[in-house]
A and B are shown apart, each in its own frame.
Chain A
Amino acid sequence: MTGKNRKRRSFGNTQIDKAPTGIQGLDDITHGGLPAGRPTLVSGGPGAGKTLFGVSFLVEGAQRFHEPGVLLTFEENAEDLAQDVRSLGYDLDKLCAERKLLVDYIHVDRSEIEETGEYDLEGLFVRLDHAINQIGAKRVMLDTIETLFGGLQDTGVLRAELRRLFRWLRDRKMTTIVTAERGEQLFTRQGLEEYITDAVISLDHRVHEQISTRRIRIVKYRGSTHGTNEYPFLIDRDGITVLPVTSLLLEHEAPDERVSSGLPALDAMLGGKGFYRASTVLMSGTPGTGKTTMSAHFVNAACARGEKCLYFLFEESPQQMIRNMASAGIDLKPWVDKGLLVFHAERPNRHGLETHLLEVHHACEANEPDIVVMDPITNLMAVGTQIDVRAMLTRVIDYLKTRGITAMFTSLTTPSQSIEQTEAMISSLMDTWILVAVDTIDRKRTRNLYVLKSRGMPHSDEVRPFRFTPHGIELLPGAGTARPAKRPARSAAGRRR
């Protein structure tokens, strides 16, 4: 499978010429971009992001690939358009002034046009040709040309002329994006897919249980292999980002370097050295067992070494977290002030899972952390089904490992649930699994910790009681004291894999 996949990739280089879109992720799933010098049809319902998709293609082309572009819009007027895309960081006016972009607005109003006798759309050709020549364009976007069907009565002429237009664009070797409204049965209302056969991309915006997700699919790409799945994409202040699936190849580096858990006693349980760098750690337990405090120790130690930490909070605000940890004896504020610790707090149900995933990507790219903590990942379960959450976590973990980031995830288990039940689906993704539990012994609650698994290292089988001190968590000797070791061992036995 791996070999086959590679082979296909290398074929990708010898395929037809491609024009990179510069849209993050899209060039990965198309193995290089859109077919160069040919038209691509982008279809989608209202609000699917077609216009923005095309504008991104033009702007990126002009800014990064030295390919000026012509935007022929039949929809909005140029001022509205410039306004719309400015919120995404695109300055169309500036690009126009630099002659890297030319926006032409074609307005067709059936009510003010009388048709009498034969005509053709040569005027459109002349204008487009003129625009292309003015700036030496290599890219063209037609948005949305189907509007013409509302403006002209003679659809026979229109269809013939559109066919001629796409042929003409191909002859001129223009990499073109043609946007179209999705039809009921066809990809486009007017069946434009009949004329544009090189590549068809479908954009979709759906809302499921009040959470919206945008998806993109390469329906067709003549002469090229491409990813066939539906991929989530995001439109935000950084423009469009398409999220390729997990790279299916398991090829991450596996460094021998170790990273301290922040608790020397816990490090001792993990072969004496702590976690592996770029590994994933699951910290699970019932409420109030100190999972977040454990993470805080981990982060605190990393910052003290001068490493950068990114902490995703799905339940608390950063202020609340800092205050609580200060009262537990861990002072995180200096790290925040120094910029070594960055919090990213968000309610899980604010977005769909894909958006969360993209947020992780964006935040990691912006901060380049050594350590990432997600606390608690169980809150994400509220956003999607278990399968979805697992898929999303697989992607996150894959991404973090590829970047060499060591990750800690906390997971909340409800006291009544068996731990396996809650976490069977995610635990297999984890390299190290630490469990914290509370047992009531002699009418006193005792917190215990044990390492359920830790791949690639000898680890302790002990169940270690621990307590909160004014200086954070302190692990107590486990083996020596018979009672705590025995009682939790019983509860652990029932949960063992």
Chain B
Amino acid sequence: MTPAAAPEKYALRLYVAGQTPKAARAFANLRTICEEHLAGRYSIEVIDLIENPALGRGDQILALPTLVRKLPTPIKKIIGDLSNTERVLVGLDLRPRPRRAVA
């Protein structure tokens, strides 16, 4: 693998349960963050557990909303409505953890 070549693709999955305000907020926040930081190299799949309850098992979904970064590996999980952009970026490994370095 050549690190510097093609930028990594981000495959994201957002788990929600029905059209709740929290779910809508999470989706909106996610779109904004992705457009800003991952433009052109991300995909978002929204999974509504009300419609597909069986899918919650695979990714060990407990809290909702949950954002799962399927790619790049390793899998990362971020729970909540994604209102704290800094923490979402940290969670997606787009920014180093605050204690290690300051961006």
* A-B complex is real: yes
Contacts from A to B (Cβ < 8 Å) = 104, 106-108, 112-127, 129-130, 148, 152
For the complex formed, measure the closest distance between the CB of A473 and the CB atoms of chain B, giving whole angstroms: 72
> What 1/0 mask marks residues of chain B from 20 to 47 whose CB sits below 8 Å from any chain A CB?
0010011001000000000000000000
B66 touches A114 (CB 8 A): no
Interfacial residues of chain B within 55-103, with CB under 8 A of chain A in the complex: 56-57, 60-66, 74-84, 87-88, 90-91
Going nearest first, the 3 A-B pairs with the smallest beta carbon separation are A114-B91, A130-B53, A117-B83
CA of A124 to CA of B74, assembled, Å: 23
B61 touches A116 (CB 8 A): no
For the complex formed, measure the closest distance between the CB of A150 and the CB atoms of chain B, giving whole angstroms: 13
CA of A130 to CA of B53, assembled, Å: 6
Q: B83 — which chain A residues lie within 8 A by C-beta?
A: 116-118
Interface flag for B49 (CB, 8 Å): yes
Q: B54 — which chain A residues lie within 8 A by C-beta?
A: 130
Which of B17, B53, B62, B88 counts the most chain A CB atoms within 10 A? B62
Q: A116 — which chain B residues lie within 8 A by C-beta?
A: 78-84, 87-88, 91
Q: A106 — which chain B residues lie within 8 A by C-beta?
A: 60, 62
For the complex formed, measure the closest distance between the CB of B92 and the CB atoms of chain A, giving whole angstroms: 9
B53 touches A126 (CB 8 A): yes
Q: A118 — which chain B residues lie within 8 A by C-beta?
A: 22, 25, 80-81, 83
| Given A113-B78, A114-B87, A126:B49 Cβ within 8 A | yes
Q: B50 — which chain A residues lie within 8 A by C-beta?
A: 126
Question: What would be 13 A-B contacts, judged by CB atoms less than 8 Å apart?
Answer: A104-B57, A108-B62, A114-B77, A114-B88, A115-B79, A116-B80, A116-B88, A118-B83, A119-B80, A121-B62, A122-B49, A126-B50, A127-B56
A112 touches B77 (CB 8 A): yes
CA of A107 to CA of B61, assembled, Å: 9
B77 touches A123 (CB 8 A): no
Q: A119 — which chain B residues lie within 8 A by C-beta?
A: 22, 63-66, 79-81
Interface bracket on B: 20 to 34
Select A124's contact among B62, B78, B82, B84, beta carbons within 8 Å.
B62
- Identity of the chain B residue whose Cβ is nearest the Cβ of A126 in the assembled complex: B49
Q: A122 — which chain B residues lie within 8 A by C-beta?
A: 17, 49, 63-64
A interface SS class: mixed
Known A130-B56, A148-B62; 5 more pairs at CB < 8 Å: A116-B80, A117-B83, A119-B79, A120-B64, A121-B62
- Identity of the chain B residue whose Cβ is nearest the Cβ of A120 in the assembled complex: B64
Q: B53 — which chain A residues lie within 8 A by C-beta?
A: 126-127, 129-130
- Identity of the chain B residue whose Cβ is nearest the Cβ of A104 in the assembled complex: B57
Which of A113, A119, A122 counts the most chain B CB atoms within 10 A? A122
A152 touches B63 (CB 8 A): yes
B17 touches A126 (CB 8 A): yes
CA of A119 to CA of B87, assembled, Å: 15
Q: B88 — which chain A residues lie within 8 A by C-beta?
A: 114, 116
- Identity of the chain A residue whose Cβ is nearest the Cβ of B53 in the assembled complex: A130
Q: A127 — which chain B residues lie within 8 A by C-beta?
A: 49, 53, 56-57, 61-62
CA of A129 to CA of B90, assembled, Å: 33
For the complex formed, measure the closest distance between the CB of B95 and the CB atoms of chain A, giving whole angstroms: 11
Q: A114 — which chain B residues lie within 8 A by C-beta?
A: 76-79, 87-88, 90-91
CA of A115 to CA of B49, assembled, Å: 20
Q: B90 — which chain A residues lie within 8 A by C-beta?
A: 114
| Given A114-B78, A117-B80, A123:B87 Cβ within 8 A | no
Select B56's contact among A107, A108, A126, A148, beta carbons within 8 Å.
A126
For the complex formed, measure the closest distance between the CB of A147 and the CB atoms of chain B, giving whole angstroms: 11
Q: A108 — which chain B residues lie within 8 A by C-beta?
A: 60, 62
Q: B49 — which chain A residues lie within 8 A by C-beta?
A: 122-123, 126-127
A121 touches B63 (CB 8 A): yes
CA of A61 to CA of B88, assembled, Å: 45
CA of A152 to CA of B60, assembled, Å: 14
Q: A148 — which chain B residues lie within 8 A by C-beta?
A: 62
For the complex formed, measure the closest distance between the CB of B52 and the CB atoms of chain A, giving whole angstroms: 9
Select A123's contact among B17, B29, B78, B84, beta carbons within 8 Å.
B17
- Identity of the chain A residue whose Cβ is nearest the Cβ of B79 in the assembled complex: A119
CA of A108 to CA of B61, assembled, Å: 9
For the complex formed, measure the closest distance between the CB of B19 and the CB atoms of chain A, giving whole angstroms: 13
Select B87's contact among A115, A121, A124, beta carbons within 8 Å.
A115
CA of A113 to CA of B76, assembled, Å: 7
- Identity of the chain B residue whose Cβ is nearest the Cβ of A133 in the assembled complex: B53
CA of A123 to CA of B87, assembled, Å: 21
- Identity of the chain B residue whose Cβ is nearest the Cβ of A124 in the assembled complex: B62
For the complex formed, measure the closest distance between the CB of A313 and the CB atoms of chain B, giving whole angstroms: 54
CA of A112 to CA of B53, assembled, Å: 23
For the complex formed, measure the closest distance between the CB of B94 and the CB atoms of chain A, giving whole angstroms: 12
CA of A217 to CA of B22, assembled, Å: 44
For the complex formed, measure the closest distance between the CB of A255 and the CB atoms of chain B, giving whole angstroms: 61
